[in-house]
Structure 1
Amino acid sequence: MARTLVSTLVTALAALGGLATTTSLESSAATRALGGAEASPLMRPRQAIRYWTPARQAGAGAAELPATRPPLVPASARRLLSVPDDQRITPGGDDNGYAPVRRPYTGTARSRVTGRLFFVNAAGQGDSCSASVVRSASGLLVVTAAHCVYSVPEGAEHGQWHTNFAFVPAYDGRATGERQREPYGRWGGRRAWKPGAYTGLAGGDWNSVYDVALIEVGRRERTLQDAVGALTPLRSQGGRHTVISTGYPGVLGRKPYDGRDQLWCLARTQPARALAAVNAAVSSAATELVGKLETYNCHLSKGHSGGPWVVQGTRDLVGVLSAGTEDGEADGYSVANALNVESYGAIVKKADPRGVYDALSVAATGPTVPVRRGRTATVTATVTMRGLLAAAQVPVTLRVPDGAALTAVTGAACARTAQQAACAIDAVRPGHPVRLTARVRLTAGAPRQVPVTAHVTATALDPSQRDNTAVARIPVQD
């Protein structure tokens, strides 16, 4: 993904020449209006807590999967497998790629923040999905799939909100006793949000990049985030990652697929080309669905919708499980929606208005003593995230004027010309600045001061763009 972004930027530089090209691209991205968001009616958290008794939890179903097209089955497939043998990479994984999470689920951060989401669906039936706690200023937000909060009941013309949301972090349906089954208690939903573009039609917008939702739970003695921790949303348009997918699949009659166990699956992601191929058959759209990730290492089962895809070795939430093949089909796969500005950004601005999310900034420093012409100076550009999310594939541009030349840039993947470098930082996380180091050679025609300009791309979530550009000035000695 980084190589693709760098190639695109350097092609633009070569075609149009100079900073004007990347500036126009970045300006377009920064000023793109956030998509709309819709909120459910206010709900009573305590009512949901009382409603979801252990008996009702035991009787809850697993939410239906968004309708999907049958996948293309390779001619070499001789028997039905959810995930082919050579695609399973989860240690101890079964035919669907899943393995049980080690009990107790309170033992690791990833399993603590993942839970089972109970609700009464639009048809009036008890249902469940998977969900996880996500960083917010309020400390009360849970992220899941939009089809877990909103749908069009059979025979209806319009979508309806589900009701009586109750989130149980680290839920263990096989434990005895309420405290063991619900180690952090039951958290009732107060309000849900979905992107305005999500309609709930056609089985849940099976190919919609907007199948993501947020639920605010009620406040207790402390916030949900204080109680269990939270994942950090990773802003991206998809890409290639190694992720861990966790949740509560609930296929009836199959153990452990009854929604009582937390399961996990190790996966390698790629842009959702399988779904895009079907989409292209209907229209002449692009060959990839930007904003969606897919994997052939894990299968999607009912009840796992809304579960988190977390980048391995981090707490970065890169996707929310959305769609895939039905259980038992050949060449199984699953699809997640990336947390991009247009979908996640739209709803988090409404759900958490006090939160500052995509606040990227850059600072530039250079030598304080004059540098002779013909010699090389070092300039550092430091990119910082002050918001509540992380950002993947962050574009940064470095530029020098005539009289100077960039001879090397380290710290990111870059495409470089003499006067400009177009770079893509793999990820910028809150509290972990990323430094790019540039070597600048001063020619015989260098002016008395050589400005080195660093620019980091802003998005519509950034409350201020004044700190997205910085200049370091190299003093030149005659």
Structure 2
Amino acid sequence: MPRTLVTTLTALAGVAFALPAAADRPPHATPAQPPIVPGHDQGWGAESSPLMHPGQAVRYWTPDKQAKANAADLPEILPSQAAAAQRRRSVPAAQRLTPGGDANGYAPARRPYTDAERSRITGRLFFVNARGRGDSCSASVVRSAVELLVVTAAHCVYSAPAGAASGSWHSSFAFVPAYDGRAAGERQREPYGRWGGRRAWKPDGYTGTTGGDWNSIYDVALIEVGKKARTLQDAVGAFTPMRNQGGRHTIVTSGYPGLLGRKPYDGRDQLWCLARTRPARMLGAAHAKLETGNCHLSKGHSGGPWVLQGTNDLIGVLSAGTENSEADGFSVANTLTTDSYGAIVTKADPGGVYDALSVKVAGPARPVRRGDATTVTATVTMSGLMAAAQVPLTLTVPPGTSLGALNGAACRPAERTATCVIDAVRPGRPVTVSAQVHVARDAKPWLPISAHVTSTPLDPSQRDNTSVSSIATQR
């Protein structure tokens, strides 16, 4: 049966539920495959929409218009797929990880949505598409200095309809955190209000061509919403964006599938799904995309968050998936890379500091007897608004010493150099890597130990990426 890959448009929201034991770190990283760190000449750039009037979008998206908002059209289901569509067996029972999950792997989230942090952070994004039709996507609040940024998929803000000479920006963006389409009153349906969009950003590598650029590694976007008495981030919280290049994770995703009239996939209920990811199997872009076969929706939740289970770490946004008529359905998310998310966040939040990694190496306070061993530590800190996965660290010791056991990261030691990869470094949570150092009997009185942490162009200063400390020795 052919595998038809499609993009989807519908909002995602956070969820309130009990999960299995949390996996509070990204997957184990292999030092031999450090992350790709693009330079400014490799897709580094962003484009912004015209300025919009947040108040106009807030007034436009009345409850009646919200109820009629739909997801974008999908390709026609082929006749050979019709029978499978009726059975809706897109995720085999053995692959469903979500307790109580349906044939798509999803289950209803627990109400009220305001009780769970993820539900408050994520909401439904309404907009008028390039053809003038009311649509919806998913979006979530992301940490920023302005505290007004919402992250979603680029095809939720920009597209080039079939036959169009160029792409166009969508308009009238209105973000509703923790949207509850079945609540009795407007205040309960929009517990944190309606936040109108002021400007949107996409990577300049995203063209918006027909089909939504489902194969684009740049399918990620940011929207700044208008100000209120308090910021959006202060009102509902925010996910921490995590720079990463994909891999194997356990994630939670949620959303509002938007097929009008099809309960519970009518855009009014939050659904959630638990999944394990793998590198995407297309276009050789495994370093920038994630894929899962545990969660699968048609016409739903594009732009929605993929969050590491047990954390608030946002590792990607939903970009595409197969139609749910296929027995081996899957969905795909774009990871937050330096040249995609990094390119747009530097434009959308120029006052924010992202990916500010630093390292400090320290040795023993007292001299080490020659012929003995001692322990040195390298502490890596993230001072910015972003977390980072698979952070490369190099430890080097001078002649007259050799490296022994290392702890705190996945390391590949040589005699005097160790190449390590730290699973994750989060803001305010330093990571320490320790190394045993053997001192030769003929070692010099002072032995310089150095550590270097690899950062990206998002780091405003590289001076603190290298640290040196000397060990005193004695006979």
Structure 2-normalised TM-score? 0.90
Which residue identity lines up with residue 201 of structure 1 in the other structure? T
Whole-angstrom distance in 2 between the partners of 1:380 and 1:29: 29
Whole-angstrom distance in 2 between the partners of 1:35 and 1:473: 39
Equivalent pairs counted in the alignment come to 446
Contact 1:131–1:247, Cα closer than 8 Å, also in 2: no
SS at match of 2:176: strand
Which residue identity lines up with residue 7 of structure 1 in the other structure? A
Residue in structure 1 matched with residue 424 of structure 2 by the alignment: 427
Which residue identity lines up with residue 60 of structure 1 in the other structure? A
Residue in structure 2 matched with residue 58 of structure 1 by the alignment: 67
Q: Deviations over 1:222-278 (max 9, x none)?
A: 0000000000001001111000011111123321000001111000001001xx2xx
Cα displacement (A) at 1:372: 1.0
Matched, 1:7 2:32: yes
Matched, 1:307 2:304: yes
Q: Deviations over 1:42-62 (max 9, x none)?
A: 000000000000000011111
RMSD: 2.2
1:165 to 150, 165, 173: 173
Range that drifts further, 314-323 or 300-309: 300-309
Cα displacement (A) at 1:144: 0.4
Cα displacement (A) at 1:69: 12
Matched, 1:458 2:439: no
Contact 2:29–2:421, Cα closer than 8 Å, also in 1: no
Whole-angstrom distance in 1 between the partners of 2:404 and 2:50: 58
Contact 2:162–2:210, Cα closer than 8 Å, also in 1: no
Whole-angstrom distance in 1 between the partners of 2:356 and 2:151: 21
Residue in structure 2 matched with residue 134 of structure 1 by the alignment: 142
Matched, 1:261 2:265: no
Residue in structure 1 matched with residue 241 of structure 2 by the alignment: 233
2:260 to 228, 252, 264: 252
Q: Deviations over 1:198-237 (max 9, x none)?
A: 0011311111110000000000000000000000001001
Cα displacement (A) at 1:40: 0.2
Matched, 1:399 2:399: no
From the two aligned structures, give the one with the greater helix fraction.
Answer: 1
Matched, 1:218 2:243: no
Which residue identity lines up with residue 52 of structure 1 in the other structure? W
Residue in structure 1 matched with residue 412 of structure 2 by the alignment: 415
Residue in structure 2 matched with residue 387 of structure 1 by the alignment: 384
Cα displacement (A) at 1:82: 1.5
Matched, 1:180 2:196: no
Q: Deviations over 1:294-322 (max 9, x none)?
A: 00000033230011000000000011000
Change (3 A) 1:375 1:234: same
Range that drifts further, 328-337 or 122-131: 328-337
Change (3 A) 1:2 1:409: farther
Which residue identity lines up with residue 455 of structure 2 in the other structure? A
Matched, 1:325 2:333: no
Contact 1:32–1:460, Cα closer than 8 Å, also in 2: no
Change (3 A) 1:8 1:353: closer
Whole-angstrom distance in 2 between the partners of 1:2 and 1:83: 24
Matched, 1:201 2:201: no
Residue in structure 2 matched with residue 12 of structure 1 by the alignment: none
Residue in structure 1 matched with residue 4 of structure 2 by the alignment: none
Whole-angstrom distance in 1 between the partners of 2:40 and 2:51: 32
Residue in structure 2 matched with residue 93 of structure 1 by the alignment: 101
Whole-angstrom distance in 2 between the partners of 1:401 and 1:218: 55
Contact 1:360–1:386, Cα closer than 8 Å, also in 2: yes
Whole-angstrom distance in 2 between the partners of 1:244 and 1:2: 15
Residue in structure 2 matched with residue 14 of structure 1 by the alignment: none
Which residue identity lines up with residue 459 of structure 2 in the other structure? D
Which one scores higher on RCO, CA 8 angstroms, separation ≥ 6? 2
Change (3 A) 1:399 1:337: same
Residue in structure 2 matched with residue 106 of structure 1 by the alignment: 114
SS at match of 1:6: coil
Structure 1-normalised TM-score? 0.90
Range that drifts further, 319-328 or 352-361: 319-328
Cα displacement (A) at 1:153: 2.0
Whole-angstrom distance in 2 between the partners of 1:226 and 1:78: 44
Whole-angstrom distance in 2 between the partners of 1:444 and 1:369: 17
Range that drifts further, 217-226 or 367-376: 367-376
Change (3 A) 1:92 1:178: same
Contact 2:29–2:423, Cα closer than 8 Å, also in 1: no
Contact 1:268–1:295, Cα closer than 8 Å, also in 2: yes
Change (3 A) 1:404 1:294: same
Whole-angstrom distance in 1 between the partners of 2:191 and 2:176: 8
Residue in structure 2 matched with residue 22 of structure 1 by the alignment: none
